[in-house]
Amino acid sequence: PHPEIFAALEAGASLLVNDGKIRLKVRDCGPDFANCEVVTGGVISNRKGVNVPDVLLPLAALSEKDRADLEFVCELGVDWLALSFVQRPEDVTEARDLVKGRAAILSKIEKPAAVERFEAILEVSDGIMVARGDLGVELPVQNVPPIQKRLVRKCRAAAKPVIVATQMLESMIESPMPTRAEVSDVATAIYEGADAVMLSAESAAGDYPLEAVATMDNVAQEVEADPTYTQIIESSRTAVRTTVADGIVAAAREIAETTDIKAICCFTQSGTTALLTARERPRVPIIALSPLVNTARRLALSWGTNCIITDGHDRFKLAVLSAARSALSEGYAGPEDHIVVTAGVPFNVPGSTNILRVAPCDERLIYASDPE
């Protein structure tokens, strides 16, 4: 069904079946066949995947069925689309042209070619998933941890959410308790700065889905309460700030860390300001306020971001009032507390963040002191 694969093969190429459990070497091949020698044998059952490492396959990332499915789910209103087996930035651009802004694009990095061109893929993606399953099949397994660390670091520097996934709590498919190594694996991803860690078969087909979710949540909370986590995050914080928005969110984080601020409230149209704030990893909650439902939903994937739908504002005082009310109603601050508010003038223009205000949560003080 895929003559392009046969065309890309050559003698000596490797074929991996069933997540690499079975390894074949191509002896000779033609337009519609490949004679292989079994290097590592085993039982092959139906519907098992075939990986072709070290070969850039001349296949589009999206098949005709993928295109039809993509249109269908966009009509349903999905927030994120995960694009599998990305090999080049053009694969992401193709999907983005079809989506037309209706969903955010999450590129799954699971091919060696994607690792080699990661910077270009990251630039055209809204987020990244480090899918270690297929990556560990097509590359030596010892290469995966440093690749994971490098990709997570680059995503954070670019202020784009990154998920670490695959086999994180694999034993919990059949066991109510994880192994110690699995717990350490989840913790390592969080220490590295991942925005999210993801379960796969553990929750999709496992016997203990609730226990798996609870375990992962407990590990995340324990790690983020560890002073070592704070030290690691601070030491890895990017020093490159090239825009006004970069400076605003960095200042907001520093103010929150040196004063008794209870939350950072950022007004955002596109989500960029909230993502930049999340990159800073402040020690107080991030409240992202947006009039756009799609933006708020997509931001839920980003680290530490609490999203609230708000009315659009055309005056800064109204924005500050809205932020204070949100912080109070959501339980992040009390009437005597203060918050940091970031916004942009003119309002409702993506990428215009240029204001930072330390504001009281008491509305009387806001009316008395804030400019219109």
Q: Please, which pLDDT band fits residue 1 given cuts at 50, 70 and 90?
A: low
Give me the pLDDT at residue 370, please: 59
The H or E element spanning position 334 is: none
**More confident position, 238 or 175:** 175
39, pLDDT greater than 60: yes
pLDDT per position as a tens digit, 3-35: 888 888 889 999 999 888 899 999 999 888 999
CA distances from 264 to 142, 305, 351, 352 (A): 40, 10, 18, 17
Which residues of the chain does CATH 3.20.20.60 include?
Answer: 64-232
Residue 69 reports pLDDT greater than 60: yes
* Low-confidence winner among 8-12, 130-134, 249-253, 345-349 (lowest mean pLDDT): 345-349
Question: What is the sign, positive or negative, of the torsion defined by CA atoms of 180, 182, 186, 192?
Answer: positive
pLDDT at 51 over 70: yes
Dig out the tokens for 371 from the structure. 């400019």
- Does residue 54 register a pLDDT over 80? no
Domain 3-51 fold: M1 Pyruvate Kinase; Domain 3 (2.40.33)
Rounded Cα distance between 233 and 301, Å, is: 18
CA 105 and chain centroid, separation:
10
148 or 344, which is more confident = 148
As to burial, measured by CB atoms within 10 angstroms (0-12 exposed, 13-18 middle, 19+ buried), residue 214 is exposed
Confidence at residue 151, expressed as pLDDT on a 0 to 100 scale: 98
Nearest CA-CA partner of 132 in 103, 162, 153, 155: 162
- Tens digits of residue pLDDT in 125-159: 999 999 998 899 889 999 999 999 999 999 999 99
For the full predicted model, state whether its pTM sits above 0.85.
yes
Comma-separated ranges of CATH 3.40.1380.20 domains in the chain: 244-369
pLDDT for res 339: 97
Can you give the pLDDT at residue 58?
A: 73
Residue spans in the chain of domains classed CATH 2.40.33.10: 3-51
Which residue carries 């994180």 as its tokens? Answer: 168
* Least confident residue range of 74-83, 180-189, 339-348: 339-348
Closest CA to 263 of 329, 341, 336, 355: 341
Q: What is the pLDDT of residues 297-316, one digit of tens each?
A: 999 999 999 999 998 877 88
Of the given ranges (14-23, 45-54, 85-94, 132-141), which has the lowest mean pLDDT? 45-54
287 forms beta bridges with 265, 306
CATH (residue range 64-232): 3.20.20.60
The number of beta carbons lying within 10 Å of the beta carbon of residue 151 is 23
Whole-angstrom distance, CA of residue 251 vs CA of residue 277? 10
Model confidence at 372, pLDDT cuts 50, 70, 90, reads low
How far is Cα 266 from Cα 287, in angstroms, rounded to an integer? 6
Question: Is the pLDDT higher at 286 or at 354?
Answer: 286
Mean pLDDT score across all residues of the chain: 92
Per residue in 109-132, pLDDT tens? 999 999 999 999 999 999 999 999
Judge whether 30 and 6 are in contact, CB under 8 Å: yes
Sheet harboring 104-109: ordered strands across? Answer: 80-83, 104-109, 127-131, 162-165, 196-198
Q: In this structure, what token pair is assigned to residue 341?
A: 């508010």
Fold annotation for 244-369: Pyruvate Kinase; Chain: A, domain 1 (3.40.1380)
pLDDT at residue number 179: 98
Distance CA 286, CA 228 (A): 21
Provide the pairing of β-strand 127-131 with 50-51: unpaired
Residue 371: its pLDDT value, please?
Answer: 58
Task: Reduce the DSSP state of residue 236 to 3 states and report it.
Answer: coil
- Helix (H) or strand (E) segment spanning residue 244: helix 244-258
Tokens of 133: 């399953």
